[in-house]
Amino acid sequence: MKKEVKKVVLAYSGGLDTSVILKWLQEEYNAEVITFTADLGQGEEVEPARQKALDNGIKPENIFILDVREEFVKDYVFPMFRANTIYEGEYLLGTSIARPLIAKKQIEIANKMGADAVSHGATGKGNDQVRFELGYLSLKPDITVIAPWREWDLNSREKLLSYARKHGIKIDAKHLDKEGKPTVSPYSMDANLLHISYEGLHLENPMNEPEESMWLWSKSPENAPDEKEYITIGYKNGDPISVNGEEMSPATLLKTLNEYGNKHGIGRVDIVENRFVGMKARGCYETPGGTIMLKAHRAIESITLDREEAHLKDELMPRYAKLIYNGFWFTPEREMLQAAIDATQKYVQGTVKLKLYKGNVEVVGRESDMSLYSEAHSTFEEDEVYNQKDAEGFIRLNALRRIIAGKARNK
């Protein structure tokens, strides 16, 4: 038996799936639907979602389209990159980090509009259902969550299209062939300012090489310019603040780095990852600006962080990455780790110089007025600050436990 709800805030893209969900919520729950569309820098117009919502009977005052690009980069992407976060060695968490913000905005709208439920379009097989719902319940424990893909029987593209026709939902031409029949489903894609992802179709066989036409953002490294290009990134308190000496807002900076990365074929990955729900899944990702940022941030940290501080950060990172991947952004353990990570960034400032060339990002220079690198101590030439004889005592003290053990065990 369905729980009675009066108002529901739907995460709405305006696409086929969420348009069907919108009508389904009206029909199955007899609920007033409020739509929320987030502009995360996905590279497509979000305003058409307004007209599609109106066409489906949504009141103008119940349609929310918010530009959250700056908030997304400043409060979610940058904090994540302070930790040099990467999941299972390759994934820069472009989808994972966007879900908490969408959930937060849905709850804010629910509070404003007096809604007693929220809904999303994530399927019952993926991670996103977990990420959305952990966010909802962390921020508003008494909210009702409606996950249509776990309730309905519209489990194929043809059934979705049939439902749309039956209920007068306008169908984009891209979903139909010349005869009005369903086209082959495109890749399942998700995009925002940090990345674009691809899943499904022939990618489901992990031995199949991705088609070049699949990649929508970047040039292939083979077709990237034959000329290398140098850029500089300025840092303050662990966050990038400028490119080539020009200070920029967080969203503008990431967009600029995306443009450099796309031009030079940087940031493509093809991985099989371990989903939180238990299965393995193959995904292809383009994260051009993020790939550049990760390299640059590690470089500026290499001269500004103390050794033990840096090593401890590296030990914490996999746990932090797992929390974000699994959807535990709004939790005390993530906030605790964030506080520790942020405490290390006080002196992470300066400039990193990078060379971009055919899919590669190479650090070629770094400087900081807070640098711990001492040329006087590190030089291979004659110096006046380091007594090499001191090393003997250092070595013997560190070897002491092994010397004692060796004498005891080798009698």
Residue type, 66: L
* Residue 67 in marked binding region: no
| Sign of the dihedral defined by the CA atoms of residues 387, 389, 394, 395, in that order | positive
CA–CA separation, 77 vs 282, rounded Å? 23
Is 99 noted as a catalytic residue in this protein? yes
Q: Name the residue with tokens 């309730």.
A: 151
* Residue 188 in marked binding region: yes
CA 98 to chain centre: 6
* Residue 17 in marked binding region: yes
E-strand spans in 109-238? 117-119, 144-146, 188-191, 196-199, 229-236
* Residue 14 in marked binding region: yes
* Residue 168 in marked binding region: no
* Distance from the first to the final alpha carbon of the chain: 77
The residues near 236 (Cβ < 8 Å, ≥ 6 apart) are 349
* Residue 123 in marked binding region: yes
Which of the following is catalytic: 138, 188, 242, 371? 188
Which of the following is catalytic: 17, 270, 342, 383? 17
Secondary structure letter of residue 8 according to DSSP = E
Which of the following is catalytic: 39, 69, 82, 128? 128
CB-based contact 192:199 (threshold 8 Å) = no
CA–CA separation, 29 vs 100, rounded Å? 26
* Residue 197 in marked binding region: yes
* Residue 177 in marked binding region: no
CB-based contact 144:35 (threshold 8 Å) = no
* Residue 121 in marked binding region: yes
* Residue 15 in marked binding region: yes
Secondary structure letter of residue 125 according to DSSP = T
CA 345 to chain centre: 21
* Residue 287 in marked binding region: no
CB-based contact 300:368 (threshold 8 Å) = yes
* Residue 37 in marked binding region: no
Is 188 noted as a catalytic residue in this protein? yes
Which of the following is catalytic: 50, 82, 99, 282? 99
SS3 annotation, 308-334: HHHHHHHHHHHHHHHHHHHCCCCCHHH
* Residue 162 in marked binding region: no
* Residue 76 in marked binding region: no
* Residue 320 in marked binding region: no
- Structure-token pair, residue 392: 């003997």
* Residue 16 in marked binding region: yes
CB-based contact 101:38 (threshold 8 Å) = yes
Pick out the residues of the known binding site. 11-19, 38, 91, 96, 121, 123, 127-128, 131, 188, 197, 273, 285
Pick out the residues of the known binding site for L-citrulline. 91, 96, 127, 131, 188, 197, 273, 285
Pick out the residues of the known binding site for L-aspartate. 123, 127-128
User: Mind telling me the catalytic residues?
Assistant: 17, 99, 128, 188
Pick out the residues of the known binding site for ATP. 11-19, 38, 121
